[in-house]
Structure 1
Amino acid sequence: MSIADSRKPRGRPPTGIGKAIGLRLYPELDASLDAWIADQPDPKPSRPEAIREALAEHLKAKGYLK
């Protein structure tokens, strides 16, 4: 008979929404993103939120997202 492992899993719990992607930013994009975030009103968006917003705005402008 074995004792069940009752430790909690590590890390953030999965949300079941979205797809995780890895992303590297060129230094000029990184600095520009940080400058844009700094110009936003409080509460300031997180870096992932800022990237999602910029991507959504771009896709809407190009007609790929309503």
Structure 2
Amino acid sequence: MNGQNRKDIKPGIEVDIVLKVDQRTGKLTSGIVKDILTNSSTHPHGIKVRLTDGQIGRVKQIRA
């Protein structure tokens, strides 16, 4: 699943995100969602989340 729909993302799930500094390279960072920061139901670049370790980025992939 891609990370463009807010309804697919819940705190506690494992996701791959792109950090702001990695947007040019597209490097993915894995982690567990702590907070969902995007208020809209969808976002074309991915829903913005905060991971449990404090990193913030847009969800590119939801790990099953």
- TM-score normalized by the length of structure 2: 0.23
- Higher gyration radius (CA): 1
Higher relative contact order (CA 8 A, sep 6+): 2
- Which one has a larger percent helix, Structure 1 or Structure 2? 1
- TM-score normalized by the length of structure 1: 0.23
